[in-house]
A = this chain, B = another copy of it.
């Protein structure tokens, strides 16, 4: 389903939805009847911009959608644009937090151009006994996926460079935990001694991936103590680098799930909502079944758009139109 056929909540005016992450920027033009008219994307992520550059970059992308008008067009932005190093800081809302606090704590972004009135959604932080953690962008995707009822307890997994796990219940985010899984996989596969024994192109060898997950689950492999066995196996047995790559991915994602299992945050029978756009979805779904859990997969862009729409609906008109 393409977002251009998605029907969001109607509002009094057309508006622009923006998901501005570290490495990419995505925008949608939403008509007042709730239909998405068009969308655009750019690689000018927040990570490579200084505060003063955000306005120009956004106008480069959405300028063609703007008309000279008496009232500026509202825009709602989630993601790293609201970090301290971003456009303007939208301070973290502390967990546990109600999803309604997101709209209540948006921050207006400074614009010279009067055709646009952007606000930025805050991230959330956790600074209690559950351990320090921060989230920026994912809170909006979660909101997008919550049904209007949204009362039952749910476990969300947002895989990526940093894999985020968040538990929600009664329209609230309870706690979160971030795993360095994706970043560590990239470092080990591209920068460590193992890089000589790995080849990541082409389709993932799902059997080898599941063997990695299973070896971690059963304890016949462990994280730090099994990485080098991939190198040794290549030296001694000429193990195929595609197989080794998938096995390594299984070891790392398996370790993430094992740690969740050991801390009681993942149990057999659990249903986990995965939000992602990437090929990671398949791996995580498969790994979850090894741990006796079931994955329910959701599209990340769609979740962002829906979440931004819910926040737009809750914003008072003076915040988005003056």
Contacts and interface: CB of A to CB of B under 8 A. Distances in A.
Interface string A96-136: 00000000000000000000000000000111000111100
Interface string A214-238: 0000010011111111011101110
Nearest to A135: B232
Interface string A181-201: 101100110011110000000
Size category, A interface: 35 or more
Q: Which of A177, A222, A228 has the most CB atoms of chain B within a 10 A radius of its CB?
A: A228
B225 A256 contact: yes
A178 interface: yes
A116 B255 CA distance: 51
A98 to B, nearest CB: 20
A180 B191 CA distance: 12
Given A134-B235, A237-B127, A183 B192 contact: yes
A180 B227 contact: yes
A260 interface: yes
A315 to B, nearest CB: 27
B179 A263 contact: no
Contact of A232 (B125, B181, B192, B194): B125
A228 B192 contact: no
Nearest to A131: B229
Contact of A125 (B178, B194, B236, B255): B236
Contact of A259 (B184, B225, B256, B259): B225
B259 A224 contact: yes
Nearest to A256: B224
Q: Per DSSP, are chain A's interface residues mostly helix, strand or loop, or mixed?
A: helix
A219 B262 contact: yes
Contact of A183 (B125, B193, B223, B256): B193
Given A132-B232, A134-B232, A224 B255 contact: yes
B232 A184 contact: no
A232 B229 CA distance: 32
Interface of A: 92, 125-127, 131-134, 162, 177-181, 183-184, 187-188, 191-194, 219, 222-229, 231-233, 235-237, 252, 255-256, 259-260, 262-263
| A-B interface, 5 closest residue pairs, ranked by CB to CB distance from nearest | A132-B232, A178-B228, A222-B259, A132-B233, A180-B227
Given A179-B224, A187-B188, 11 more contacts: A127-B237, A132-B233, A132-B237, A133-B228, A178-B228, A178-B229, A178-B232, A180-B188, A222-B259, A224-B252, A224-B259
13 contacts: A92-B236, A127-B232, A131-B232, A132-B233, A133-B232, A162-B193, A177-B225, A180-B192, A180-B228, A183-B193, A219-B262, A222-B259, A225-B263
